[in-house]
Copies of this chain bind each other. A is one copy, B any other.
Amino acid sequence: MHDNLTERSKRILEAIIEDYIATAEPVGSRTITRRHGLSLSPATVRNVMADLEEMGFLSSPHTSAGRIPTDKAYRFYVDGLLEVRKIARDEREEIRKRCILTGKDIGDVLKETSRMLSSISHYTGIVVAPRFAANIFRHLEFVKLGGKRILAILVSQNGTVQNKIIKTDDELDAADLVRMSNYLNEMLNGLTIAQVKQRLMEEMRDEKNKYDALLARALKLSQDTLADTDSEMFIEGQSNILEQPEFADVTRMKEIFRAFEEKNQLLGLLDRCLEARGINIFIGSESHLSQMAGVSLITSTYMTGKNTLGVLGVIGPTRMGYSKVIPIVDYTAKLVSRLLEVE
């Protein structure tokens, strides 16, 4: 792929990208020869740069400025040129220290993970909580709150909890609730949440269940509990974005922040990452979200066993330190996987 680029062009392109990542300023032919030990004259470099621009790897803000890499260049860089460093020992320590929290519920751990990702990368951290459907059912409990309000609590194997307040048509007494949950726990034990949904449907269709009022109630209640459980998302360190010179312009910044608040769109993007396991990188326009122009996303999936649970990653400018951030995201995903594993 891209065999049409000579070794020299690649080296120069790489130098330009790395320089731009470091400085956020358009890179000129002079700078390249000076800062990177290329034994070429600026003039030669200029010729190569002109070719690279022709091919769509570089663009110039105006005639007499240097060049900046395009999304295509970053993609080429990430796919080929970049050699991913191993994670630094101290980074690894930091990650471990901040993720391993005992005595906190899953949500707190993931939130802290997101915060950690942001502070260690200096960009914005993002963690999508486990998709409930992939989890394994563990326990269902109904607590009577008062009157006709019941709190349904659904617990999955790895400790994720989902609550819902359900209003019933008439009062149920506590004993009934216990019987109902006992029955359901028995029936649903060991299934994934997705299978649970399935099973409930089947049971409700089953003729014989329609005659047991309590049972029918129980089924209805648990189905209500499972209805539209939207996944949670933790975005932390948004203000780190403000440090990036490319967002000094207020209008650009507004866009980004709006994008962060529009969590649904982001979720859509992250869902795409769910499908492919492991590291995933979206560069600028590749996300096909207009607000994400100039922004890159590095994600990885975390999982228990062979079950993909969720996604986590880092959002930063396209001009981000890929070689540093990729191993961080990678290591974090693996660590979180391990934490959620049932010991």
A31: B residues at CB distance < 8 A: none
User: Is A143 in contact with B155, judged by CB distance below 8 angstroms?
Assistant: yes
A134 on the B face (CB < 8 A): no
Q: Chain A interface residue count: which class?
A: 35 or more
User: Is B163 in contact with A105, judged by CB distance below 8 angstroms?
Assistant: yes
Given A105-B164, A257-B239, the answer on whether A147 and B250 have CB atoms closer than 8 Å is no
The contact of A145 among B158, B227, B236, B242, by CB within 8 Å, is: B158
A50 on the B face (CB < 8 A): no
Hey, what's the 0/1 contact readout for A248-263 against B, CB within 8 Å counting as 1? Answer: 1010011001101100
User: Is B257 in contact with A238, judged by CB distance below 8 angstroms?
Assistant: yes
Given A151-B161, A159-B149, the answer on whether A227 and B141 have CB atoms closer than 8 Å is no
User: Is A159 in contact with B145, judged by CB distance below 8 angstroms?
Assistant: yes
A67 on the B face (CB < 8 A): no
- How many Å lie between the Cα of A243 and that of B258 in the bound state? 11
Give the copy number: 2
A195 on the B face (CB < 8 A): no
A46 on the B face (CB < 8 A): no
User: Is B238 in contact with A242, judged by CB distance below 8 angstroms?
Assistant: no
A192 on the B face (CB < 8 A): no
Interface residues of A in 82-117 (CB under 8 A from B): 102-107
- How many Å lie between the Cα of A163 and that of B108 in the bound state? 10
The contact of A238 among B155, B158, B166, B261, by CB within 8 Å, is: B261
A257: B residues at CB distance < 8 A: 238-239, 242
Interface residues of A in 221-258 (CB under 8 A from B): 224, 227, 236-239, 242-243, 248, 250, 253-254, 257-258
Give the 3 A-B residue pairs with the shortest CB-CB distance, closest first: A146-B342, A239-B257, A105-B163
